[in-house]
């Protein structure tokens, strides 16, 4: 830290600042050089989206066709570069020419979150497909096409993202649902709808929605059951010709078809768990109905699809029997098609729309690329302006900037050091938890009278793993608790007869104290970031006020009151405020992120203490 302060005199020389600005200009010019084949020069930024259905991504054996791809935009997307409503977004195929239809389900530039549906060209199995996302054109007009985002075989698409009113159909059929569900603001994909087991939605009868006898069908939906009950019907359609049902029976997904041969249901397999999202899909083709769970075939029945043309109900059965119940849980993204989508298309939808680790392997979004002409001119212009403004800085302004630079350097040293430490203990905690999982079910397997046995987790860890675990706060708590158990076993009068309630309370208090010390270690030196957050803007404001005051004093003394004599001094004074904000804003972001990581670490310690106390209370019960 002392070496940092020893470098501060260098910043007194304007030549140093000019050298830094020149370096930034050269970097900006280098970054501005982007590949050719730019779609249209009016769009100044783009990202490449790569879909990999081969071995290096997610293997999809059968061609998915032309599905609607979900694109999630988050903090890695420059929302400030796009229009405030996202209307300048354009998706272009890998050939650099063909524009792909798309529509936006959610756009929140404040929270850095957007959900966009894009109709892909013919997606191949076991191949790599590129799509370009262009943005950064303030003059662009909206070009969304919800109905064009789906092929002509799509009969219904319900996002359930409406905050009021009935769910709208985004497919070419445009048959809106009827009824009011309980809206969910943050479902799996934007908004969703919640069912209580009593409420329901209906899709009215429409000639375009008719199912032919023995015809083809694909129905898919995302569900998150709140409770697992018997015969919970998620989707039903009945008329005189028969019925079709999709639901959960005590967590077991099922598809049921009632036709001339009586009701038939897909065989039962492993149930889903409550409180988790799952993708259900049903396809019907050539007298076979197949049920898919999370993109994998779950069950099959040999029966043709009946002819159905009536009303469809979401959330319960249209004509429930005595054992039928309504669905209780959340629901999102219901899609109906008049063709049997391939298994590859079902798997693509389940992975692309979900939040599993495979989604990140299937769809990879590259870094932002800027058009050479726009980026180079804007960057150079901004840097040249800053150079000119810095020439008007007074000595007081330079002092403020030196101080802000010192705060920034100290803050970044603290932030980077703290981040490295958090990453280190996170890695160590993962190693420890892996070993803890092996012994937590029977903690008596540890020889608490042997220190080496405790440190090696019963002799199951190598010296390398032991060295890694020592950095973990969880290991420190485990070791502290084990020492207390060892102390009580060693000092027991006579045979050790377990831990009394008082002993367990004492051990808990000791572990709480250890957790407090670990928390203090995690939070140490964060005060330097808070100083940067609070002090940077005030230093900048001080520099600006002094600069403005001196500027007006010089004007009063010289008697020159034209804009050319005022503007340079005011601009130079405002540069001090910019410097103060440049210190505070990164410090604020770094502090927020580090505080979140520390909060997670503290929560992990508290959780471990509860688990440790529960394990030792179970392993060493008092015989009193």
Specify the pLDDT at position 339. Answer: 96
| Phi/psi of residue 201, nearest 5 degrees | -120, 155
Q: What is the dihedral of CA 325, 330, 333, 335, to 10 degrees?
A: 0
Q: Is the pLDDT of residue 359 over 70?
A: yes
Q: Taking residues 66-88, what's their average pLDDT? A: 94
Q: Which residue has the tokens 């199995």?
A: 125
Assigned token pair, 340: 């049997």
Q: Does pLDDT of 26 surpass 50?
A: no
% of the chain at pLDDT higher than 90? 46
CB-based contact 226:328 (threshold 8 Å) = yes
Q: Which residue has the higher pLDDT, 29 or 608?
A: 608
Q: What is the dihedral of CA 454, 460, 461, 463, to 10 degrees?
A: 80
Model confidence at 323, pLDDT cuts 50, 70, 90, reads low
Token pair, residue 16, equals 């140093």
Separation between Cα atoms, residue 552 and residue 557, nearest integer Å: 9
Q: Following DSSP, what letter does each residue of 331-368 receive, concatenated?
A: EEEEEEESS---HHHHHHHHHHHS-SHHHHHHEEE---
Mean pLDDT over the full length of the chain:
84
| Mean pLDDT on 549-574 | 72
What is the rounded distance in angstroms from the CA atom of residue 589 to the CA atom of residue 201?
A: 43
Distances (CA, A) of 420 to 3, 85, 524: 20, 37, 14
What the block records as the tokens of 192 is 């969703």
Centre a 10 Å sphere on the Cβ of residue 526 and count the other Cβ atoms it contains.
Answer: 17
pLDDT category, 10, cuts 50, 70, 90?
very low
Find the range with the poorest average confidence among 235-244, 433-442, 541-550, 607-616: 433-442
Whether 225 contacts 212, CB under 8 Å: no
- Of 32-41, 196-205, 340-349, the poorest mean pLDDT is in 32-41
Among 34-38, 153-157, 373-377, 604-608, name the one with the lowest average pLDDT.
373-377
Structure-model confidence comparison of residues 108 and 536, the more confident one = 108
What confidence category does residue 143 fall into, taking pLDDT thresholds of 50, 70 and 90? very high
The C-alpha atoms of residue 175 and residue 167 are separated, in whole angstroms, by 10
Measure the CA–CA gap between 219 and 112, rounded to whole angstroms: 32
Q: Is 378 helix (H, G, I), strand (E, B) or coil?
A: helix
What are the domain boundaries of the chain?
37-149+354-370, 154-338, 394-624
Question: Which 3-state string (H, E, C) describes 483-541?
Answer: HHHHHHHHCCCCCCCCECHHHHHHHHHHHHHHHHHHHHHHHCCCHHHHHHHHHHHHHHH
The more confidently predicted of residues 481 and 59 is 59
Supply the pLDDT for residue 321: 60
Segment 170-224, tens digit of pLDDT? 999 999 999 877 899 889 999 999 999 888 999 999 999 999 999 999 999 999 9
Alpha helical stretches, state H, 391-500: 395-439, 451-455, 463-469, 473-490
Asked if 556 and 617 count as a contact pair (C-beta separation under 8 A), the reply is no
| pLDDT above 70: percentage of residues in the chain | 85
What lies within 8 Å, CB to CB, of 62 at 6+ separation is 125, 342, 343, 344, 345
Quote the pLDDT of residue 274: 95
pLDDT of residue 565: 60
Q: What is the DSSP string of 260-313?
A: TTEEEEPPP-PPPPTTS-EEEEEEEETTEEEEEETTEEEEEE--PPPPB-S-EE
Q: Six-digit token pair at 265?
A: 């249901």
Q: What distance in Å separates the CA atoms of residue 50 and residue 48, rounded to the nearest whole number?
A: 6
Q: What is the dihedral of CA 242, 248, 254, 259, to 10 degrees?
A: -10
Of the listed ranges 146-150, 450-454, 485-489, the one predicted with least confidence: 450-454
Half-sphere exposure of 39 (CA within 13 A, CB side): 28
Most confident range, picked from 197-211, 271-285, 400-414: 271-285
624 versus 257: the higher-pLDDT residue is 257
Query: Looking at 118-132, 348-362, 403-417, which range is the least confident one?
Result: 403-417
The secondary element (H helix, E strand) that includes residue 618 is helix 563-619
**Residue 275 confidence (pLDDT):** 95
Which residues touch 395 (CB under 8 Å, ≥6 apart)? Answer: none
Residue 138: what pLDDT?
Answer: 92
On the 0-12 / 13-18 / 19+ scale of CB atoms within 10 A, 561 is: exposed
pLDDT bin (cut points 50, 70, 90) of residue 20 is: very low
Strand order across the 102-108 sheet: 68-73, 113-119, 102-108
Q: What torsion do the CA atoms of 360, 362, 363, 364 make, to the nearest 10 degrees? A: 70
- When pLDDT is cut at 50, 70 and 90, the band that residue 623 belongs to is low
CA separation for the pair 115, 101 (Å, rounded)? 14
Give 240-275 pLDDT, tens digit per residue. 878 999 999 999 999 999 987 778 999 999 999 999
**Contact between 340 and 281 (Cβ < 8 Å):** no
Q: Is the pLDDT of residue 9 over 50?
A: no
* pLDDT value of residue 220: 97
Instruction: Report which secondary-structure segment, H or E, holds 1.
Output: none
Annotate 175-190 with DSSP letters as a single string: ---BS--EEESSSSSS
The verdict on pTM exceeding 0.85 is no
Q: Is the pLDDT of residue 164 over 80?
A: no
Express each pLDDT in 497-554 by its tens digit: 777 788 888 888 988 898 898 888 888 888 888 888 888 888 888 888 888 888 778 7
Question: Cα dist. 538→492, 544, 592 in Å?
Answer: 62, 10, 20
User: For residue 218, which phi and psi values (nearest 5 degrees)?
Assistant: -140, 130
State residue 17's pLDDT score: 38
pLDDT for the residue numbered 381: 57
Give the CATH fold of the 154-338 domain: Jelly Rolls (2.60.120)
Instruction: Collect all residues with Cβ–Cβ distance below 8 Å to 310 and sequence separation of at least 6.
Output: 205, 237, 238, 239
Residue 447 confidence (pLDDT): 61
Q: What is the mean pLDDT of residues 153-182?
A: 90
Average pLDDT over residues 355-370: 93
Token pair of 467 as six digits: 């060295």
Q: What is the mean pLDDT of residues 337-355?
A: 96
- Most confident by average pLDDT, 342-346, 519-523, 558-562: 342-346
Return the structure tokens found at 268.
Answer: 């039962």
H/E element, 576: helix 563-619
Q: Is the pLDDT at 21 greater than 60, yes or no? A: no
3-state secondary structure of 574: helix
Q: How far is CA 216 from the centre of its chain?
A: 36
């Amino acid at each position: 830290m002392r070496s940092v302060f020893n470098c501060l005199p260098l910043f007194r020389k304007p030549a140093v600042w000019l050298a830094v600005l020149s370096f930034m200009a050269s970097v900006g010019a280098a970054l501005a050089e982007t590949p050719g084949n730019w779609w249209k020069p009016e769009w100044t930024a783009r990202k490449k989206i790569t879909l990999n259905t081969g071995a290096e991504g997610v293997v999809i054996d059968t061609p998915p066709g032309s599905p609607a791809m979900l694109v999630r935009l988050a903090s890695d997307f420059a929302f400030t570069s796009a229009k405030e409503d996202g209307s300048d977004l354009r998706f272009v195929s890998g050939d650099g020419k063909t524009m792909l239809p798309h529509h936006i389900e959610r756009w929140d530039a404040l929270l850095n979150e957007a959900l966009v549906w894009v109709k892909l060209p013919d997606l191949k199995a076991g191949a790599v497909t590129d799509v370009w996302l262009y943005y950064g054109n303030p003059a662009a007009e909206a070009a969304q096409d919800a109905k064009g985002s789906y092929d002509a075989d799509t009969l219904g698409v319900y996002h359930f993202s409406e905050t009021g009113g009935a769910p709208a159909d985004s497919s070419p059929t445009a048959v809106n649902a009827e009824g009011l569900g309980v809206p969910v603001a943050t479902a799996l994909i934007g908004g969703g709808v919640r069912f209580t087991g009593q409420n329901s939605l209906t899709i009215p009868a429409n000639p375009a929605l008719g199912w032919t006898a023995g015809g083809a069908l694909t129905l898919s939906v995302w569900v998150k059951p709140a409770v697992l009950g018997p015969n919970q019907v998620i989707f039903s359609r009945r008329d005189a010709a028969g019925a079709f049902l999709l639901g959960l029976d005590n967590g077991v997904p099922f598809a049921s078809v009632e036709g001339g041969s009586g009701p038939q249901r897909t065989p039962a397999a492993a149930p889903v768990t409550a409180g988790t999202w799952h993708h259900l899909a049903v396809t019907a083709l050539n007298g076979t109905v197949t049920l898919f769970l999370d993109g994998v075939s779950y069950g099959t029945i040999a029966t043709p699809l009946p002819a159905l043309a009536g009303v469809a109900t979401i959330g319960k059965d249209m004509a429930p029997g005595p054992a039928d119940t309504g669905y209780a849980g959340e629901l999102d993204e219901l899609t109906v098609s008049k063709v049997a989508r391939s298994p590859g298309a079902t798997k693509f939808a389940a992975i692309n729309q979900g939040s599993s680790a495979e989604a990140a392997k299937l769809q990879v979004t590259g870094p932002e690329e800027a058009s050479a002409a726009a980026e180079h001119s804007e960057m150079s212009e901004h840097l040249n302006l800053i150079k000119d403004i810095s020439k008007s800085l007074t000595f007081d302004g330079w002092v403020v900037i030196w101080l802000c630079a010192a705060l920034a350097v100290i803050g970044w040293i603290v932030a980077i050091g703290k981040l490295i430490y958090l990453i280190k203990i996170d890695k160590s905690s993962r190693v420890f938890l892996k070993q803890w999982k092996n012994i937590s079910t029977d903690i008596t397997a540890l020889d608490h009278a042997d220190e080496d046995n405790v440190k090696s987790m019963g002799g199951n860890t190598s010296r390398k793993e032991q060295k890694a675990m020592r950095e973990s706060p969880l290991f420190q708590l485990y070791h502290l608790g084990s020492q207390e158990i060892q102390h009580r076993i060693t000092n027991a009068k006579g045979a050790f007869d377990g831990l009394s309630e008082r002993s367990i309370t004492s051990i808990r208090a000791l572990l709480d104290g250890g957790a407090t010390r670990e928390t203090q270690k995690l939070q140490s030196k964060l005060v330097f970031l808070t100083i940067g957050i609070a002090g940077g803007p005030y230093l900048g404001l001080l520099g600006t006020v002094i600069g403005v005051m001196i500027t007006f004093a010089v004007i009063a003394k010289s008697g020159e009151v034209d804009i050319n004599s005022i503007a340079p001094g005011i601009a130079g004074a405002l540069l001090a405020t910019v410097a103060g904000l440049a210190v505070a804003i990164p410090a604020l972001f770094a502090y927020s992120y580090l505080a979140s990581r520390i909060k997670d670490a503290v929560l992990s310690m508290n959780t471990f203490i509860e688990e440790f106390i529960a394990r030792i209370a179970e392993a060493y019960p008092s015989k009193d």
